[in-house]
A and B are shown apart, each in its own frame.
Chain A
Amino acid sequence: MWVYVCGRTMNQAIAPPALDVVRLEGVHRSFGAVRAVDGIDLRVELGEIAALLGPNGAGKTTTIDMILGLGKPDRGTVRVLGMKPDAAVGRGLVSAVMQTGGLLKDLTVGETVRLTATLFADSRPAGEVLERAGIANIADRLVGKCSGGQQQRLRFALALLPDPALMVLDEPTAGMDVEGRRDFWTAIRRDADLGRTILFATHYLEEADAYADRIILLRQGRIVADGTAAEIRNMSTGRSVRATLPGAEPATLRGLPGVLSVELRGDRVIIQTTDSDSVARNLLTNTPARDLEIVAHNLEDAFLALTGDGAATPVEGAKEA
């Protein structure tokens, strides 16, 4: 009896709604010597559309697997709506569209949806999710005869069945053509407008830029940047100042204000700096530099600067061309 009462009290303590749809605290996960996820803290709030962006091996899929309960962290905690991931999956609060596979070729599209629908305590009608995923017209087609894009929209339809609070997409458009990709994102976006929280992994920069409200940049299992696309762009290491300067000395140039890196390409010198004005002024007054250009970074530069091989050491040495 005491245990029962105690259990009740504990449940009531957990019951108030969690603020975050996803909450990761100090999450680590290694595979042998490889630290796939190396200390991630992350909160995703209700209604956000967030992209996990990073090169292959950055830890995107490992992170997603832990949010879905397919993997457990070595250290740290993962919570979905304040619950353990498999409890959230059991209640249909989180669903996922995985990259490939996961479909039976010998079922029709409609049967796949009906079969999956039986597994949830409460489920949207099969016809409705087929309609919303834009595949109601191919309900009688065998899955094995569907194109890659159609199969992906079927996975999306399955993910819609429990009317989840959070939908997770792992590289959802990999291998799709441009049109398939656009149709797919149109369906996702329409769904997100109804208030669903969406977290997707991608290594397509344009996709993160175009569809996410928030970009979480991963590199070697850590978050290296987190913000809107515009914020990430600004976080990229300032601007680059380029000039023709024969006989330039990298060591001297590195001493200029705000310089992050110096690169020599023949007579051309490329300086990454957070203070382009000072560097330009210095070059034009104290050196014979000419043909000077100041170039602002785009998202791709930011991406490369933040996730590239040299990114661990922001002030890098000159590369002799």
Chain B
Amino acid sequence: MSISDAERLKALVSRRVPPLGGFNLTFLYLEMRRLVRNRRTVILTLVMPIALFFLFRSSRRLGGANTAELTASTMIGIGVYGAMLAATAGGALVSVERALGWSRQLRLTPLRPVAYIAIKLLNAMLLGLVSVALVYAAGVIDGVHMSTQTWVLTGVLAWAAALVFASFGLFIGYLMPSENVMQVIGPVLAVFALVGGLFIPIRLLPTTIQDVAPYMPPYGVAQIARFPLVGGSFDVTWILSLVLWTAAFSAGAMYLFRRDTRRT
């Protein structure tokens, strides 16, 4: 080995590892652009909730009195639905990336799996925020009236649904390595939303469905989000629902994520 080789080796082994496990804002930005470029994702997570809002607000005719509050309530419910769709879609993108072998490619870079998941979660949360904002914009156009405080509070709480479902999306993404995972879980989410009382007020649903509703994943978060609008008594089981479902999905996602990235 010549001296120059020795020098070269010395320079090589003293190279740096990137900070934050490779997490960086350019990556986050490019990931976001990818998400928005996907027409199917945009229609599913941003356009459809708005369409649903204009469809289901007609249910105020069924509700009888206090139609203004009912429209606002429907808007919040659909905001929750938008957040959960967007967050699930964002999280479930890992399935596409695993199917394409991109996750494997990333393992040949300094990016740590935890940083990768953090980027995916942030992206899912951001998309969820945009979805809620768009539904609320539709509400403004439709003439929903709430105090500024209620607008902000219900919006932020609806966005909390993204937290529950980003981990759900990751869980599903690791469960099913497929390029069209959203086609499979889209209908599941619609059932969750319908039975959980997001589209139509629970009291207007058949009694059997009313009994099941509290066990649906979006139920707790939707009730909490509507609380600033509806008022009344606060039910602690709502928080329990939110916490338990988030914990369950996160645990599932963590388990599958560990299994996937373990260097066996």
Contacts and interface: CB of A to CB of B under 8 A. Distances in A.
Contacts of A81: 9, 12-13
A250 interface: no
B61 interface: no
Interface in A67-117: 68-72, 81-83, 86, 89-93, 95-96, 98, 100-107, 111, 114-116
B16 A106 contact: no
Interface string A50-70: 000000000000000000111
A165 B26 CA distance: 26
A32 interface: no
Interface string B159-192: 0000000000000000000000000000000000
B233 interface: no
B263 A70 contact: yes
A102 B104 CA distance: 7
Contacts of B100: 101-105
Contact of B104 (A98, A162, A195): A98
Contact of A92 (B5, B19, B38, B110): B110
A46 B109 contact: no
Contact of A102 (B26, B37, B101): B101
Interface string A280-303: 000000000000000000000000
Nearest to A29: B264
A119 interface: yes
Contact of A91 (B19, B38, B101, B110): B110
Given A72-B263, A105-B100, A118 B27 contact: yes
A120 interface: yes
Nearest to A14: B13
Main secondary structure of the interface of B (DSSP, over half): helix
A192 to B, nearest CB: 15
A119 B10 contact: no
Interface string B17-45: 11100101011001100100110000000
Nearest to A87: B17
Interface string B111-125: 100000000000000
B193 to A, nearest CB: 28
Nearest to A86: B263
A105 B101 CA distance: 11
Interface stretch (A15-23, A36-44, A226-234, A252-260): A15-23
**How many of chain B's residues touch chain A, expressed as a range?**
35 or more
Nearest to B116: A119
Contacts, number: 119
Given A19-B1, A46-B1, A121 B26 contact: no
B6, B8, B13: residue with the most chain A Cβ atoms closer than 10 Å: B13
A119 B111 contact: yes
Contact of B18 (A86, A114, A120, A165): A120
Main secondary structure of the interface of A (DSSP, over half): loop
Contacts of B16: 91, 121-122
B27 A115 contact: yes
A111 B102 CA distance: 14
B108 A106 contact: no
Interface string A1-30: 000000000000001011100000000000
A102 B102 CA distance: 4
A159 to B, nearest CB: 8
A17 B6 contact: yes
Contacts of A122: 15-16
A158 B6 CA distance: 27
Given A95-B108, A104-B97, A114 B102 contact: no
B208 interface: no
A116 B24 CA distance: 11
Given A15-B13, A72-B263, A114-B26, A104 B108 contact: no
Q: Sorted from nearest, which 5 A-B pairs have the closest CB atoms?
A: A101-B101, A17-B9, A102-B105, A121-B16, A91-B15
Given A19-B1, A89-B110, A119-B27, 16 more contacts: A17-B12, A69-B263, A70-B108, A81-B9, A89-B107, A92-B110, A98-B105, A100-B101, A101-B101, A103-B102, A118-B27, A119-B22, A119-B110, A120-B22, A122-B16, A165-B12
27 contacts: A17-B6, A18-B13, A68-B108, A69-B107, A70-B104, A70-B108, A83-B13, A89-B107, A90-B17, A90-B110, A92-B15, A93-B12, A98-B105, A98-B108, A101-B100, A101-B102, A101-B105, A102-B102, A102-B105, A106-B38, A115-B26, A115-B30, A118-B30, A121-B18, A122-B16, A165-B9, A165-B12
Interface of A: 15, 17-19, 45-47, 68-72, 81-83, 86, 89-93, 95-96, 98, 100-107, 111, 114-116, 118-122, 158, 162, 165, 195
